[in-house]
Amino acid sequence: MRTSTVFKLDLKKIDGEGDFPCPKCGVTISPDDVSEETYRILEVKSRGERLERLVILCNKCGSIIHLVGFELLDEYEEFSADL
């Protein structure tokens, strides 16, 4: 029987430009990778136009990863635009 492990990952605690390792198998998951080779998006939750949560599935180990912390990214983008 194969069970999925569920992880919660806070983007605020991730360094870099959006890439992060899978908490279980360590494969690099990149938001720019749209090939669905390493991961698949299961669910997108948003409030208005604001992304709140992304649920992805690691294709390598089958882990389900909940991504949170998009609020900060939004703020950062707004801040950058003011410069």
Phi-psi region of 59 (alpha: psi -120 to 50; beta: other; left: phi over 0): alpha
Out of 4, 5, 25, 72, name the contact with Zn ion by CB under 5 A.
25
Decide: is 56 part of the binding site for Zn ion (CB under 5 A).
no
Q: Residue 65 — φ and ψ, nearest 5°? A: -120, 120
Whether residue 56 contacts residue 34, with contact meaning beta carbons closer than 8 Å, is answered with no
When asked if residue 53 is in the footprint of Zn ion (CB under 5 A), the reply is no
65 binds Zn ion (CB under 5 A): no
**Per rule CB under 5 A, is residue 64 in the interface with Zn ion?**
no
Binding site for Zn ion (CB under 5 A): 22, 24-25, 58, 60-61, 63
